[in-house]
Each structure stands twice: as C-alpha cells, then as structure tokens.
Amino acid sequence: MIEVFARLTTVIAGLALAAALYRIVAGPTIADRVAAADLVTSSIMAIALMAGILLDTHAYVDVVMALAVLGFFGTVAYAKYLLGGSPVDD
C-alpha cells in the first residue's frame, strides 16, 4: 500500500515540477521566478524521498537535506538582492 502512495506522490510532485518549470520560463516577474525555483527544489526533494522509499534505502535523505539548505539560502540571498542589497554583506 505504501508503494501505491509513494508512486502517486511521485507523479504529483512531477506535475508540480513541470508547472514550476513553466512558471520559471513564462513568469512575468522575478518574484514569480524565485517562488517557482523554490517549488522546483521542493519537488525534487519530494521525488528523491519517494525514490528512497520505493528503493528501500536511506541514502537519499542526505541529498534531500543538502537540497533543503541550498534552496533556503538561495531564496534568502535572492530576496536580499531584490530588496536592494548585495547577497553577501561586507
């Protein structure tokens, strides 16, 4: 039963990934593109976790943790840049 839900979740995350990639390409504002890039990261994390469940391994958890940190810092740096500062303070 868990495999059915893992596969369904993978399909839903794949659809969210496709929608986010479309919004990155066609987004009218930069804020839309940043939000879509954050959704891309979240979708890839969900797909990686579901792959770990389906393959019965814990190896993908480290990848997901690294993606979460990179996605968070990337979003914060870009938001700081949009507010008029440099991504890294001196």
Q: Is the dihedral of CA 53, 16, 70, 75 positive or negative?
A: negative
Q: What is the pLDDT of residue 46?
A: 95
Distance CA 43, CA 41 (A): 5
- pLDDT score of 69 more than 80: yes
pLDDT tens per residue, range 50-65:
999 999 998 889 989 9
Q: Which DSSP string do the residues of 44-55 spell out, in sequence order?
A: HHHHHHHHHHHH
Put simply, whether the predicted model's pTM sits higher than 0.85 gets the answer no
